Structure 1
Amino acid sequence: MKKIGTLCTLLLVVLWSCKDTGPKQRFLPPSTGGINSLMVVMDTELWKGEVGDRIREHFAAPVRGLPQGEPKFTITQIPPQVFKGATTYSRSVLFVERDTTTLAHIKSDVYAKPQKVAVVKGKTQNDLAQGVDSLAAMAIASFKKTEIEEAQRRFTRSLSKDNALLEELGIKLKVPSLYKVGKRDKNFVWMDIQIPRGTMNIVAYAMPGNSFTNDSTFVQDIVQMRDSIGKKYVPGPYENTYMVTEKAFAPYVFPARIKGKKAAEVRGIWEIHGYPMAGPFLTYIINDEENDRKLVLEGFTFAPSQEKRDYMFELEAILKTVDFNVSP
């Protein structure tokens, strides 16, 4: 009987040892870097030449819908021999080097987490330039997705508990607690936050489900909608002044999907009718078929003489947290 007990104990020890010798998850430090920052790792001579030009052409292209040219990413270039230690923890990395093989791909969580590392290798400068061209769109989308998630992770530490969006529109947004409701009406909510010398704003409202049915007048109808809402709800500093869409340039319109629903993404410039104020806006017009409506979510910024890319990026990150699966 004693021998049987001893054998059982040995068997358990062996089984536990086998379990313990399995593959262990590698520890990765948290990634670092400012929002929309990109670490480019490549030889400095390549950076100064055609390959560097291609990178700047794609990754430092101006963001559409801003009043001044601001790049998609703030780029820091370092040579490969410097890419070690804490520098490898950068959240978004583009690695470009000459090699006997030619490839272009994207890896996840190589040195830190979360992290995206786009890798381009080639035998010649022409190979590298072509690799950058072929990978750029996918890499930009991958980097942006990671940056949006990081922005959301940062502001969800402290969220607003106001129920205006739920009560008026039956939706929820993860809005930082510093945003306050300034105006609400049936099917309309306006929230804002003070920033240095300006404000960041979120508005949400509903339009009938049969709005925007004519493709040929789609952009014109969007402008008319924004202008009518601005006149009704978003006044300027003086009587008879109110927000409208800038008339000098038509807004950019792109197809989008927000929480699985078809949507239109609109980027452009707002201005105050009758007063010299202006700034960028981002609008999502979401086809909410279940409620027979078009849900409109918009973020706009007033920040004179300041860069606005990161302000608008935060607003985009907030708008993309919309949740329809809630009850009034």
Structure 2
Amino acid sequence: MKTHSLLISFLMLLVLMGACSSGPIVRNATGFAYEVVVTMNKADWDAPAGKAIKAELTSDIPGLPQAEPAFKITYVTPDQFNGLLTYVRNILIVKIDKTQYTKVSLSYENNRWAKGQVVMVLTAPDDEAILEYVKAHPRNIVDFFTKCERNRTIGQLEKEHSVVVANHVKDRFNVILNAPGNMTYFRDTTDFFWASNNANTGRTDIVVYDFPYEDADTFTADYLIAKRDSVMKANMPGTFPGSYMATDTAWVTYTPTMINGKYCGVLRGLWHMKGDMMGGPFVSHARLDEKNNRVVVVEGFVFAPETDKRNFIRRIESALYTLRLPGEFEETAIEKPDVPEEK
């Protein structure tokens, strides 16, 4: 892979701009979201270990209508890794040496060469150890960098977000939610809130609704999909008479997860307009508000038929992580990434 790419050109431009400014230069991390620089010996990169790392970082993102890689990779050899490349926001350094290492080990450091940067170092005695690690911990590396990118977006949203969304969801549902600042178009009803950036390219929407909690069966795929379809049919009509939003049930997944130590049910998949031609990816979070015995659902969806959807859906998904229920208002949604070692 050539290093003289658009990424490198962009980095050079930033350095030149900084050189022309007066006063000390504050070195911030450069590069684009969901891009990573990988550096390791060429022989290892071309071997099965390198191919396994590349396959993981470029694995398909679940829940999109077309295949899109989790990350764009810029590969360089260790002797090429210097200067501009050391300022990139996501860096993976792989070292394979049986004289120094006895097992796979992962570590990371924030702000090593630039502010806002994360550098992961993977060490291993040989190729086989890396292959075994990747097999035993599928998606661990890609999930680590994904969480780092999500934390960056959450940090940005904490500083700058839509006041319209924040005020309405606080008044209507007594929750805190930091949506992107360009979400200024909205509709607020008794038990349903919708907001959108109303963009011609890369339209993203967010909805909030709640309903009484009955029992543990609430947090199942069947229940939440049925609830979603009933709520969307009533509140998200299409352009044509009788059209409405529905879930493509053949392409939806349900994943239980923990957010700040508390349970969250995640639906991810595709939506379409019954009786219309619109559709795209969505992701929703269902959280239990124990204080008020209710389930609060926040969902983001994207309509961008003309372009890739990875960054759009990931940005709106980051906003879902900022949901804070009563009793959580002082908490932060930024979580520490974890990098388990080989056992």
TM-score bracket, normalised by the shorter chain, equals 0.7 to 0.9
* Partner residue, 1:300: 301
**In the TM superposition, what are the counterparts of 1:140-159 in structure 2 within 5 Å?**
140-159=142-161
Structure 1 counterpart SS, 2:318: helix
Q: Which runs of 5+ in 2 are unaligned?
A: 1-25, 330-343
**In the TM superposition, what are the counterparts of 1:216-235 in structure 2 within 5 Å?**
218-235=220-237
Aligned: 1:251 with 2:249 = no
**CA–CA distance in structure 1, aligned partners of residues 31 and 263 of structure 2:** 32
Structure 2 counterpart SS, 1:256: strand
Q: CA deviation at 1:90?
A: 2.1
Supply the AA of the counterpart residue of 1:82. Q
Q: Any idea what the Cα deviations from partners look like across 1:107-152, whole Å, max 9, x if unmatched? A: 2123333333222233433234335555664433332222112122
Structure 2 counterpart SS, 1:81: coil
**Aligned CA distance change for structure 1 residues 156 and 229 (closer, same or farther; 3 Å):** same
Does the Cα contact within 8 Å between 1:121 and 1:131 map onto a contact in 2? no
Supply the AA of the counterpart residue of 2:79. Q
* Partner residue, 1:275: 276
**CA–CA distance in structure 2, aligned partners of residues 87 and 325 of structure 1:** 44
Count of residue pairs the alignment pairs up? 298
Q: Any idea what the Cα deviations from partners look like across 1:174-196, whole Å, max 9, x if unmatched? A: 12321024211122110001334
**In the TM superposition, what are the counterparts of 1:151-300 in structure 2 within 5 Å?**
151-162=153-164, 163-210=167-214, 213=217, 218-247=220-249, 249-300=250-301
**In the TM superposition, what are the counterparts of 1:131-142 in structure 2 within 5 Å?**
131-133=133-135, 137-142=139-144
Does the Cα contact within 8 Å between 1:258 and 1:320 map onto a contact in 2? yes
Q: Any idea what the Cα deviations from partners look like across 1:194-250, whole Å, max 9, x if unmatched? A: 3343410000000111166267xx222222111111110001111100000014x14
**In the TM superposition, what are the counterparts of 1:17-28 in structure 2 within 5 Å?**
none
**CA–CA distance in structure 2, aligned partners of residues 212 and 134 of structure 1:** 31
**Residue in structure 1 matching 2:39, options 41, 53, 69:** 41
* Partner residue, 2:60: 62
Does the Cα contact within 8 Å between 2:232 and 2:244 map onto a contact in 1? yes
Supply the AA of the counterpart residue of 1:31. A
Q: CA deviation at 1:77?
A: 0.9
Which range is displaced more, 72-81 or 200-209?
Answer: 72-81
* Partner residue, 2:13: none
Q: CA deviation at 1:74?
A: 1.5
Does the Cα contact within 8 Å between 1:169 and 1:188 map onto a contact in 2? no
**Aligned CA distance change for structure 1 residues 132 and 42 (closer, same or farther; 3 Å):** farther
Does the Cα contact within 8 Å between 1:301 and 1:311 map onto a contact in 2? yes
Q: Which runs of 5+ in 1 are unaligned?
A: 1-27
Percent of aligned positions that are identical = 28
- Rg larger in 1 or in 2? 1
* Partner residue, 1:107: 108
Does the Cα contact within 8 Å between 1:104 and 1:131 map onto a contact in 2? no
Structure 1 counterpart SS, 2:197: strand
Q: CA deviation at 1:95?
A: 1.2
Q: CA deviation at 1:262?
A: 1.2
TM-score under structure 2 length normalisation: 0.79
TM-score under structure 1 length normalisation: 0.83
Does the Cα contact within 8 Å between 1:284 and 1:296 map onto a contact in 2? yes
**Aligned CA distance change for structure 1 residues 131 and 58 (closer, same or farther; 3 Å):** same
Structure 1 counterpart SS, 2:79: helix
Q: Any idea what the Cα deviations from partners look like across 1:35-81, whole Å, max 9, x if unmatched? A: 11111111233323312220122221111111111111111111111
Q: Any idea what the Cα deviations from partners look like across 1:86-105, whole Å, max 9, x if unmatched? A: 21122222111332223421
Q: Any idea what the Cα deviations from partners look like across 1:256-293, whole Å, max 9, x if unmatched? A: 22344311011010011112221000010101111110
Structure 2 counterpart SS, 1:279: strand
**CA–CA distance in structure 1, aligned partners of residues 226 and 256 of structure 2:** 19
Does the Cα contact within 8 Å between 2:106 and 2:123 map onto a contact in 1? no
Supply the AA of the counterpart residue of 2:194. W
Does the Cα contact within 8 Å between 2:185 and 2:197 map onto a contact in 1? no
Which range is displaced more, 142-151 or 107-116?
Answer: 107-116
